Amino acid sequence: MADKNTEWTTLDKDLGRISQLEYASQYVSRPMVGPGIALAFMVVVGLLAGLFWGGQPTSLIVVAAAIFGAYMAINIGANDVANNMGPAVGANALTMGGAIVIAALFESAGALLAGGDVVSTISKGIITPDSLADSEVFIWAMMAALISSALWVNLATWVGAPVSTTHSVVGGVMGAGIAAAGLAAVNWPTMGAIAASWVISPMLGGAIAAAFLAFIKARIIYQDDKIAAARRWVPVLIAIMAGAFAAYLAVKGLKRIVTLDLGTALLVGLAVGAVAYVVAAPLIRRQSEGMENRNKSLKALFALPLVFSAALLSFAHGANDVANAVGPLAAIVHAEQFGEFAGKVSIPTWVMVIGAFGISFGLVLFGPKLIRMVGSQITKLNPMRAYCVALSAAITVIVASWLGLPVSSTHIAVGGVFGVGFYREWHHERRARDRGAARGVRLPVEERRRRKLVRRSHFMTIVAAWVITVPAAAVLSGLIFLGLSTVVF
Question: What are the helix and strand counts (H, E) for the chain?
Answer: 17, 2
Which residue type occupies 367?
A: G
Cβ 239 vs Cβ 279: under 8 Å: no
- How confident is residue 26, by pLDDT bands cut at 50, 70 and 90? very low
Residue 472 CB burial class (10 angstroms; 0-12, 13-18, ≥19): buried
- 154 CB neighbour count, 10 Å cutoff: 18
Query: Which among 477, 479, 461, 475 has a CA at the least distance from the CA of 163?
Result: 461
Q: How far is CA 163 from CA 65, 157, 415, 425, in A?
A: 23, 8, 12, 24
In which band, very low, low, confident or very high, does the pLDDT at 476 lie, cut at 50, 70 and 90? very high
pLDDT average, residue stretch 10-15: 54
Cα atoms in the Cβ-side hemisphere of radius 13 Å centred on 180: 34
Q: How confident is the model at residue 215 (pLDDT cuts 50, 70, 90)?
A: very high
Note the pLDDT of residue 187. Answer: 83
User: pLDDT tens digits, residue range 440-451?
Assistant: 655 555 545 555
| pTM of this structure | 0.82
Provide the β-strand partners of residue 346.
118
Give the helix/strand (H/E) hosting 215. Answer: helix 188-216
pLDDT at residue 149 is higher than 80: yes
**What contacts 177, CB < 8 A, 6 or more positions away?**
122, 126, 127, 131, 132, 141, 185, 186
SS3 230: helix
**Which residue did the predictor score with more confidence, 24 or 153?**
153
**Of 375, 378, 414, which is closest to residue 202 (Cα–Cα)?**
414
The helix (run of H) or strand (run of E) holding residue 214 is: helix 188-216
Helix (H, G, I), strand (E, B) or coil at 94: coil
Average pLDDT over every residue of 176-198: 84
